[in-house]
Amino acid sequence: MLIRVFNDKTTLGRSAAEQAANAIRRAIADRGQARIIAATAASQLEFLDALTKAPDIDWSKVEAFHLDEYIGLAITHPGSFRKMLMEQLVQKTGIRHYHLLDGDAADPAAVIRKVGEQLASVPVDIAFLGIGENGHIAFNDPPADFNTEDPYLIVNLDEACRQQQVGEAWFANISQVPKQAISMSAQQILKAKEILAVVPDKRKAQAIKACFEGEISPMAPASILRRHPNATVYLDTNSASLLSPKIQAALKSNSQVTVS
């Protein structure tokens, strides 16, 4: 797994978007289509803005899935990840082939069966991720399920995860944050040919240290990215600030470092 560090979120987002755009163009050139998994959150704004402006991408040949969605939350709610996916990616690019996780459907289990079958039918070219303040990827809060092969799960959200959503101003207080969500599984994320995680901000620094300097453990869910042969984590100086002096020195001399 490769870690890259940038001075600010805008530069980080542009560089990550360049890598993402190249992966999409390459898949379209090779197979006539690209399959992507898109993260939607406050931390992804600069990245998605740059990606949607990238030249020479035929978005009509892109199929998009998203990582997670709250159960019981309408698509009209500001915190809905479906709403963010539509506004930050689909509407800006004109993607026609996309799959929404309908979290307020009467039967969420039926939703994850249907979308999961579509997701698992053909390999994904590149997955875009964030990492939560508790180290989660998608809504796989600690202790994450590292074993299930199901494409999507219904999960219980821990308090740290729910409080993060309040801190990002999607909800007025924690009582408004749903307690359950649909989440892509960790094993399904690892099945993507390439993974790109965009993780700016000081509030993510402790999670970055735990996930990439500690053991690979369900208690640090994003640590599982170290098992992927083609994963890149994009940090800014704030989110990288608690990494060890050894890693800091390597980053200072080279702006990137490989972590296993």
pLDDT in tens, 17-69: 999 999 999 999 999 999 999 998 888 999 999 999 999 999 999 999 999 99
| pLDDT of 105 strictly over 80 | yes
pLDDT at residue 260, rounded to an integer? 81
Alpha carbons 43 and 199: distance in angstroms, whole number: 7
The verdict on residue 254 lying in a domain is no
The verdict on residue 67 lying in a domain is yes
| pLDDT of 255 strictly over 80 | no
Stretch 184-206: mean pLDDT: 97
The verdict on residue 32 lying in a domain is yes
The verdict on residue 259 lying in a domain is no
Range of the structural domain that residue 142 is part of: 7-203
**Residue 180 in tokens:** 């359950």
A 10 A CB-CB count for 17 gives 23
Alpha carbons 31 and 207: distance in angstroms, whole number: 37
Using DSSP, state whether 36 is helix, strand or coil: strand
pLDDT at residue 172, rounded to an integer? 87
CA distances from 123 to 89, 184, 226 (A): 21, 14, 20
pLDDT at residue 168, rounded to an integer? 83
The verdict on residue 173 lying in a domain is yes
Give the confidence band of 85 by pLDDT, cuts at 50, 70, 90. Answer: very high
The verdict on residue 162 lying in a domain is yes
**Residue 69 in tokens:** 């969605």
The verdict on residue 160 lying in a domain is yes
pLDDT in tens, 107-159: 999 999 999 999 999 999 999 999 999 999 999 999 999 999 999 999 999 99
Rounding to the nearest 10 degrees, give the CA dihedral for residues 209, 211, 214, 215.
180
Q: In whole numbers, what is the pLDDT of the chain averaged over residues?
A: 94
A 10 A CB-CB count for 249 gives 11
pLDDT at residue 254, rounded to an integer? 78
Does residue 196 contact residue 104 with C-beta atoms inside 8 Å? no
Alpha carbons 158 and 162: distance in angstroms, whole number: 6
Give the confidence band of 249 by pLDDT, cuts at 50, 70, 90. Answer: confident
Q: Where are the alpha helices (DSSP H) in the chain?
A: 9-31, 45-52, 81-85, 91-93, 108-120, 159-167, 186-190, 205-213, 245-254
150, 154, 218: which is closest to 189 by C-alpha? Answer: 150
The verdict on residue 58 lying in a domain is yes
Give the confidence band of 252 by pLDDT, cuts at 50, 70, 90. Answer: confident
Of 14-18, 76-80, 91-95, 187-191, the one with minimum mean pLDDT is 76-80
In percent, the amount of the chain with pLDDT more than 70 equals: 100
> What is the tally of structural domains in the chain?
1
| pLDDT of 224 strictly over 90 | yes
149, 196, 250: which is closest to 22 by C-alpha? Answer: 196
107, 153, 147, 131: which is closest to 207 by C-alpha? Answer: 131
Which domain CATH number covers 85?
A: 3.40.50.1360
pLDDT in tens, 164-194: 888 887 888 899 989 999 999 999 999 999 9
Residue with tokens 């009467």: 106
